[in-house]
């Protein structure tokens, strides 16, 4: 069953990263600059940030299976609109609409899994569910490069049609709609405040390092922070807020959310920094750097069969602390890469990185809902997925910021190998803070 859900999630995660390779070709067709084309990426991220919080409410009111099928249909429809877009404004609108479907897939897919899978099988099921989240972004660049080289960039979006159709068939046939439907009032004001807060913060972080965008980025961040404060005040007075902050009182959920968000900053930065290093500092082609990043996906796949055995043998607490040290250390080794290193050794290190990081996510996702009451699962999945997306996006911003700071401090106009090393080590310092909280005894 987890594999059926993973089919749809793979489509979403692949699409989220494959587009970056196509931006130059799209810019030529739309008679726009590559810099202007980045708004197509930002529109999708903004849509995710705004719409993820409502996924739990919709699942409660309409049924998780119904919403998941609808999410795939919306995503595929948005993909078709992207493939037919005649200009940049139409592409931006189509990407935002596509994000409405994408925002529902991960939280609703996780919710269906939590309601149908026994706790004894949860580690194995989560391993399958997390595979598309790890492999999709890794396959994105080489798949995008192949399509741009041999086909037309519009095939990036049209390929989602058969994948989405397969996902809908599998979900409709093999997944039951379980769980009682609730008629809780929709938190419209909370949705508005959270949407403004998340949207402005995401856009502000995206613009903060762009030349000439400092004032706009500062304004967006200020508006986002103010809206977030207003949302927190609103959530304390509302019985059923769209993002239930009282979930943070649950020990296992809080540990998983905080620890997982910090590790996702590294996960978001690595697929951004590694291909750039391979191309700009090592001189590899886009296809060559894409093959190196495939090691992350291979490591994640190798982890799938071992995670449950390790966790049962050593316990969650010991495993999370150990991997909390090993994973950032392995990624920090990437900062030591040099053209003098054998490529097979570099590839082996990347495989280890993918293995450890995927193990971390499997453990965190498994413990997150262990103490959550069944009637709060939908709220918990939307809350968790919102911060998951923010962590990944912040990772890209953090990696770009660390790289830019190193370039400026060195008085250079373009990055060199040392700049990438500094960026790798900076983002890994964030992930090392994962081991600071004291994991409570019930996670042992």
pLDDT digits (tens, 9 = 90+) for 307-364: 677 777 777 777 777 877 788 788 888 889 999 999 999 999 988 888 888 787 777 7
Residues 329 and 256 grouped into a single domain = yes
The residue ranges of DSSP E strands in 156-268, in sequence order, are none
Residues 169 and 34 grouped into a single domain = yes
| Predicted TM-score (pTM) of this structure | 0.70
Residues 172 and 216 grouped into a single domain = no
| Total number of domains constituting the chain | 3
Residues 235 and 129 grouped into a single domain = no
Q: How many CA atoms lie within 13 A of 51 on its CB side?
A: 23
Residues 248 and 376 grouped into a single domain = yes
The lowest-confidence range among 36-45, 58-67, 145-154 is 36-45
Residue 436 has pLDDT above 60, yes or no: no
Q: Which range of residues forms the domain containing residue 341?
A: 244-444
Residues 362 and 213 grouped into a single domain = no
Residues 158 and 201 grouped into a single domain = no
CATH code, domain with 92: 1.20.1250.20
**Mean pLDDT (whole number) for 437-444:** 46
Residue 14 has pLDDT above 50, yes or no: yes
Residues 235 and 254 grouped into a single domain = no
Residues 105 and 157 grouped into a single domain = yes
Residues 266 and 353 grouped into a single domain = yes
Which are the contacts of 336, defined by CB distance < 8 A and separation ≥ 6? 421
- The residue among 197, 223, 241 that closes a domain is 241
Helix (H, G, I), strand (E, B) or coil at 307: helix
pLDDT band at 171 (very low <50, low <70, confident <90, very high): confident
For 56, list phi and psi in degrees, rounded to 5. Answer: -65, -40
For the four alpha carbons of 323, 324, 329 and 334, in that order, the dihedral sign comes to positive
**pLDDT for position 10:** 64
Residues 248 and 234 grouped into a single domain = no
pLDDT digits (tens, 9 = 90+) for 65-84: 788 888 889 999 999 999 89
Residues 331 and 431 grouped into a single domain = yes
pLDDT digits (tens, 9 = 90+) for 151-162: 888 888 888 888
Helix (H, G, I), strand (E, B) or coil at 33: coil
Written as six digits, the tokens of 299 are: 């490591």
């Amino acid at each position: 069953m987890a594999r059926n859900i993973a089919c749809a999630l793979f489509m979403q995660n692949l699409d989220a990263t494959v587009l970056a390779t196509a931006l130059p070709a799209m810019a030529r067709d739309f008679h726009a600059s590559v810099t202007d084309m980045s708004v197509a990426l930002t529109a999708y991220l903004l849509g995710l940030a705004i719409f993820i919080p409502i996924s739990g409410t919709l699942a409660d009111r309409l049924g998780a299976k119904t919403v998941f099928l609808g999410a795939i249909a919306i995503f595929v429809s948005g993909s078709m609109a992207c493939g037919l877009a005649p200009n940049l404004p139409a592409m931006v609108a189509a990407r935002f609409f596509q994000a409405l479907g994408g925002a529902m897939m991960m939280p609703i897919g996780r919710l269906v899994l939590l309601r149908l899978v026994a706790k004894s099988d949860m580690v194995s099921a989560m391993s399958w569910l997390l595979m598309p989240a790890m492999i999709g972004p890794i396959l994105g660049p080489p798949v995008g490069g192949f399509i741009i080289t041999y086909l037309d960039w519009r095939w990036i979006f049209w390929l989602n049609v058969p994948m989405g159709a397969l996902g809908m068939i599998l979900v409709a046939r093999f997944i039951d709609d379980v769980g009682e439907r609730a008629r809780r009032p929709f938190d419209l004001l909370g949705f508005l405040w959270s949407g403004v807060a998340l949207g402005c913060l995401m856009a502000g972080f995206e613009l903060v390092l762009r030349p000439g965008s400092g004032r706009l980025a500062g304004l967006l961040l200020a508006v986002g922070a103010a809206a977030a404060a207003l949302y927190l005040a609103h959530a304390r007075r509302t019985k059923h807020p769209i993002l239930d902050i009282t979930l943070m009182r649950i020990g296992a959920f809080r540990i998983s959310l905080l620890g997982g968000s910090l590790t996702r900053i590294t996960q978001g930065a690595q697929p951004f920094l590694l291909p750039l290093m391979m191309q700009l500092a090592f001189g590899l082609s886009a296809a060559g750097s894409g093959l190196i990043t495939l090691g992350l996906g291979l490591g994640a796949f190798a982890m799938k069969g071992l995670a449950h055995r390790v966790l049962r043998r050593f316990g969650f607490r010991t495993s999370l602390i150990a991997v909390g040290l090993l994973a950032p250390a392995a990624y920090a080794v990437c900062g030591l890469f040099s053209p003098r290193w054998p490529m097979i050794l570099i590839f082996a290190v990347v495989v280890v990185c993918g293995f450890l990081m995927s193990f971390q996510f499997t453990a965190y996702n498994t413990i997150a809902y262990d103490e959550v009451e069944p009637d709060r699962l939908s709220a918990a999945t939307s809350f968790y997925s919102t911060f998951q997306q923010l962590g990944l996006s912040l990772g890209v911003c953090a990696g770009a910021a660390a790289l830019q700071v190193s370039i400026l401090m060195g008085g250079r106009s373009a990055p060199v190998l040392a700049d990438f090393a500094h960026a790798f080590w900076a983002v890994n310092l964030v992930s090392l803070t994962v081991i600071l909280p004291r994991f409570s005894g019930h996670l042992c």
